[in-house]
Structure 1
């Protein structure tokens, strides 16, 4: 994950970039008729809908640079034609990156200073 809402995952038949930036989140909201954070809560509570999974992954692929046609084909083949629970961890990771991002580097000091280095 990175600060720009993108994440690279080994998914389906390869390694893909996913990104849910503002525009993709707005499309997700429109497609599911609910806000992204409500979907985020549904994913974590187990109250998700299958459309949540397919829309997150499809729009994440588009945001990651895939054409809409290719993203739809991948989603149909590897989400809609597979058991939903296979897609759940990917949808969680993609939406989490879109909503929360992640720091590129950890905050704070990684090691305590050494008295012998002075």
Structure 2
């Protein structure tokens, strides 16, 4: 991680995953499941998690929007896309809500924690295709 990445991680209030991310933990994760099962698992997990309010779900688009409450507030969008039969990609977009324009890495560090929770529920394949 270079100086630019360190600065971006700490002095930003938004982080998201993508295929080619400089941080391996924030690369798109793939699971051996169908889109519907992954979507249902994610929806059930966040419904049962305290401090989470599901704002909207769109099964057609494979998106779940969540407000995370607690010490820090965050808005999370989870995107579920089936790339192949029994290979589903899950991406996160996290924006923190605060009075200052940066979160000192909170949004960046939250995504790997969410992926680790998801790995307990679904069979994990890989991060990089």
TM-score category by the smaller chain? under 0.3
When Rg is computed on C-alpha atoms for both structures, the one with the higher figure is: 1
TM-score (normalised: structure 2): 0.25
Bigger share in strand: 2
| TM-score normalised according to structure 1 size | 0.27
